[in-house]
């Protein structure tokens, strides 16, 4: 089975962009907004990861329990 790697690239891209935004905001002296942006990026990535994890658990359940 070929795993779809889009989600990996997506998460990597979000990480890079959030890091860039944070660096720029910090350079301009807006530390609070920079922290907020980092937190926002973290939450978004967390949502994506949790979604994928729930898929993984569903898969494991369907393999070992032989039902839905």
CB 29 to other proteins: min, Å? 8
Total residues in contact with other proteins, by rule CB under 8 A: 14
Q: Around 12, how many Cα atoms within 13 Å sit in the side-chain half-sphere?
A: 5
CA–CA separation, 17 and 41 (whole Å):
9
CB 44 to other proteins: min, Å? 7
Q: Is 2 helix (H, G, I), strand (E, B) or coil?
A: coil
Mark the segment that binds other proteins (CB under 8 A) among 10-18, 49-57, 59-67.
10-18
CB 57 to other proteins: min, Å? 24
């Amino acid at each position: 089975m070929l795993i779809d790697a889009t989600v990996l690239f997506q998460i990597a891209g979000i990480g890079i962009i959030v890091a860039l935004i944070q660096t720029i905001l910090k350079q301009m002296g807006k530390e609070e907004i920079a922290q907020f942006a980092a937190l926002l990026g973290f939450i978004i990535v967390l949502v994506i990861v949790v979604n994928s994890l729930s898929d993984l658990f569903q898969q494991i359940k369907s393999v070992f329990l032989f039902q839905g």
